[in-house]
Amino acid sequence: MIRMGVWSVCYFAFYLAQQVAELMAPLLLILGLGWYILPHIVNAITTSAASADPQARDIMNHVAGTLPNHLQIGSHLITPGSLIFDGILLMAIAAIGATVSALAARNM
């Protein structure tokens, strides 16, 4: 009876971790990739618009200069690369959670 209770708690914990990781991993990957690619796209548009109206070129240069390359929230430094890495790490956690929860279900 105690063994079943322990395995039930383990199954719950790993299945919950798996669900949270599966939810957050794609969000972090998409945010990180978008944040990484956006400045490159804006810079490409700005440099290719050399023959454009000077006022439009100034606006594009201003937009390109306002895109941050990192965010400091409290003591956390968030960069596009860190979001991508965290997304991949969460995918690994989801895979580990699925494996361990399957083992826990088998032992119940």
Query: Where residue 71 falls among pLDDT bands split at 50, 70, 90?
Result: very high
CB 69 within 8 A of CB 79: yes
Domain assignment of residue 29, given as a range: 2-107
Between the alpha carbon of residue 100 and those of residues 2, 43, 89, the distances in Å are 19, 46, 16
Segment 24-64, tens digit of pLDDT: 999 999 999 999 999 888 888 777 766 667 777 777 778 77
Q: How many domains does the chain have?
A: 1
At 49 the pLDDT is 63
Please name the residues in contact with 20: beta carbons below 8 A apart, sequence gap of 6 or more: none
77 membership: H or E segment, kind and range: strand 76-78
Segment 84-101, tens digit of pLDDT: 999 999 999 999 988 888
Please name the residues in contact with 29: beta carbons below 8 A apart, sequence gap of 6 or more: 83, 84, 87, 88
